[in-house]
Chains A and B, each alone.
Chain A
Amino acid sequence: METAALGFALEQAAERLIPPAAREAVLGDLRESYARRGDYVREVLKAAPYVIASQMMRHLNLPVLMLQGAMIFWFFNGRMVALALPLLMLREAYQPLTRPDPRVAMRGALVLSFASLLVGLVAPMLHGHVLLTLLPAGPLSLVLCGLRTGVILGIDRYDTILPDAMPLAALRARHGDFLRRQRRRRWLDIAMLGIAALGWPLLIERSLSVPLSAVFLAAALYQFNALFRDVREAPTNFARLAQHYADEMQDDAQFRRFICWLWVVPGLCLIQTGMLSGIAPQAQIVLQAVLTVLLCFGAGAINREQCGRVREEISLLGVLRETPSILA
Chain B
Amino acid sequence: MEPLGQFEQVVLTAILALGEDAYGVTIHAKVEDLSSPRKIARGAVYATLDRMEDKGLIASWMSEPTPERGGRSRRHYRLEKPGEKALRETAKQAQRLIDTISKRLGGLAWKPPR
- Using a CB–CB cutoff of 8 Å, the interface residues on chain A facing chain B are 1, 3, 6, 11, 22, 24-33, 43, 46-51, 53-55, 57-58, 235, 237, 239-240, 243, 318-319, 321
What are 21 residue pairs bridging A and B, where the CB atoms are less than 8 Å apart in the complex? A24-B62, A24-B72, A25-B75, A28-B73, A29-B24, A29-B69, A31-B68, A32-B25, A46-B43, A47-B46, A50-B44, A50-B46, A51-B47, A53-B47, A57-B51, A58-B54, A237-B59, A237-B81, A239-B59, A243-B56, A319-B62
Evaluate contact between A28 and B70: CB separation under 8 angstroms: yes
CB distance from B84 to the nearest CB of A (A): 13
- Measured between beta carbons, the chain A residues less than 8 angstroms from B66 are 28
Residue contact A31 to B72, C-beta cutoff 8 Å = yes
Tell me the total A-B contact number using a CB cutoff of 8 A.
98
Closest Cβ neighbor of A322 among chain B residues = B61
B67 within 8 A of A: yes
Nearest-neighbour CB distance to chain A for B27, whole angstroms, equals 9
* Chain B 1-36 near chain A by CB (<8 Å), digits 1 or 0: 000000000000000000000011100100000000
CB contacts (< 8 Å) of A3 on chain B: these are 67-68, 70
B54 contacts across to A, CB distance below 8 A: 58
B109 within 8 A of A: no
Minimum CB distance partner of A22 in chain B: B46
Q: Is the CB of B70 within 8 A of A27?
A: yes
Report yes or no: B56 in contact with A31, Cβ–Cβ below 8 A. no
Q: Are the CB atoms of B42 and A28 closer together than 8 Å?
A: no
**What would 5 more interface pairs be, CB under 8 Å, given A43-B42, A240-B80?**
A11-B70, A26-B46, A31-B69, A32-B25, A47-B41
User: Is A50 in contact with B41, judged by CB distance below 8 angstroms?
Assistant: yes
CA distance A30 to B23 in the complex (A): 12
Most buried by B among A25, A47, A235, A319: A25
Q: What is the minimal beta-carbon distance from A97 to any residue of chain B, in angstroms?
A: 12
The 6 closest A-B pairs by CB, nearest first: A50-B43, A28-B72, A25-B75, A29-B24, A47-B43, A28-B69
Partner of B50, one of A29, A49, A58, A319: A58
Contact assessment for B25 and A29 in the assembled complex, using a CB-CB cutoff below 8 Å: yes
CB distance from B83 to the nearest CB of A (A): 11
Q: Indicate which residue in A11, A46, A48, A240 contacts B56 across the interface (CB closer than 8 Å).
A: A240
How far is the CB of A4 from the nearest CB of chain B, in Å? Answer: 9
The CA-CA distance from A58 to B54 in the complex, in Å, is: 8
CB contact between B61 and one of A49, A50, A237, A321 (< 8 Å): that residue: A321
